[in-house]
Amino acid sequence: PDHESSAAVARALDGKMKPLHSLGRLEGLAARVASIRGTTTPRVDSPVVLVCAADHGIARAGVSAYPQEVTGQMLAAFAGGRAAVAILAHQADAQLVVADLGVVDPPQLHPTHAYAPVLDRRVRAGTDNSAEGWAMTRAEAEQAVAVGIRLAEDLIEDGADLIALGEMGIGSTTTASILTSAILDRDPARVVGAGTGLEGEALAHKVETVDAVLARHEDVEDPWDVLAAMGGLEIAALAGVALACAAHRVPALLDGFISTAGALVAWRLCPAAADAMIAAHRSTEPGHSMQLEEMGLTPLLDLQMRLGEASGAALAIPLIRSSLALLQDMGDLADLSSGS
């Protein structure tokens, strides 16, 4: 982090025509973006919402309210502009990019008339069931992370000055619960939430499934091996995106529980990666608050959302832009008497 830039921004905000610190968290937000970007005049002119999608073998353990083919169908909905994140990215004046890391039933897309591109970055057709063996090989996990790094680097080279991390994949809250329990050494019963809408026995079954996967892989300790054994492909890619954002000093705007699982993997591999992260919102998934707290992040929004896709991240983009506009355009207290 660039403490000089953030301190200079804080000083500049102290001189603006307002009571000291009265813009609350917007002030720290502007200072954080300055620190990440390494400049006292940061801008977010070209934000990109990047949704990584893949399927999870663990979905076959009956841990989701939806069948696996929904993952591919949602990809088509992203491309067509009808899914929530497509609408929210448009509202935030952000570009939506979708990457298929390994969807089992990828949709047939018509490249023309598409609202968002769906990039073919398939590592394999979904992971294996982590309750029965490793979700993927270590080489595949490394490949998925590398794909994420490359995706982010391409976007940054094209001008992206903020990347919002989103995801799609039936079964993904289960994989995120497994990874979060493993990385933070927490009791799955406290980490696991309703996901897309489980309750009662179905929720208890999800906790048991997470327990079983953790037991099966209890000897796995190396973080790369943890990622490979437990999955998933899109989470690995998002870890790569978070790493690349940190390396290139571009804010990585975290969405909910699953995208933050990717960020948590990045943080486990390289703790300094958290310095480039901004938490957009607090999901209702209990494990999400644990992830954020561990990485020292406080979310900007708490709207009781649990959709994923980067929907919460997209909503936070205007807040970030506003914090920077205030830094850039607000007059100083010293100018007040002059009347402009």
Q: What residues numbered 196-235 form the site for a copy of itself, per CB under 8 A?
A: 196-197
Out of 124, 284, 286, 294, name the contact with a copy of itself by CB under 8 A: 284
- CB within 8 A of 75, min separation 6: which ones? 53, 98, 100, 103, 106, 107, 109, 118, 168
Q: Give 80: exposed, middle or buried? Use CB within 10 Å, 0-12, 13-18, 19+.
A: middle
- CB within 8 A of 129, min separation 6: which ones? 57, 58, 60, 61, 135
Q: Based on the residue annotation, tell me whether 309 is a catalytic residue of this protein.
A: yes
Tell me the C-alpha to C-alpha distance, in Å, between residue 209 and each of 107, 192, 252, 296, 306: 29, 10, 31, 29, 21
Out of 48, 74, 165, 263, name the contact with a copy of itself by CB under 8 A: 74
Q: Give 158: exposed, middle or buried? Use CB within 10 Å, 0-12, 13-18, 19+.
A: exposed
* 177 contacts 272 by C-beta, under 8 angstroms: no
Q: How near is the Cβ of 75 to a copy of itself at its closest, in Å?
A: 9
Q: Between residues 74 and 164, which has the closer beta carbon with respect to a copy of itself?
A: 74
CA–CA separation, 151 vs 106, rounded Å? 19
State yes or no: residue 26 binds a copy of itself (CB under 8 A): yes
Q: How near is the Cβ of 202 to a copy of itself at its closest, in Å?
A: 13
State yes or no: residue 166 binds a copy of itself (CB under 8 A): no
Out of 3, 11, 82, 190, name the contact with a copy of itself by CB under 8 A: 82
Helix (H, G, I), strand (E, B) or coil at 285: coil
Out of 181, 306, 310, 313, name the contact with a copy of itself by CB under 8 A: 306
Site size toward a copy of itself, by CB under 8 A: 57
Q: Which residue has the tokens 């990385």?
A: 183
For a copy of itself, which stretch binds (CB under 8 A), given 44-52, 84-92, 141-149, 226-234? 84-92
Site of interaction with a copy of itself (CB under 8 A): 16-20, 22-26, 65-66, 70, 73-74, 76-77, 80-84, 87-88, 90-92, 107-108, 195-197, 284, 300-307, 311, 315, 318-319, 321-322, 325-326, 329-331, 335-337, 339-340
Known catalytic residues are 309
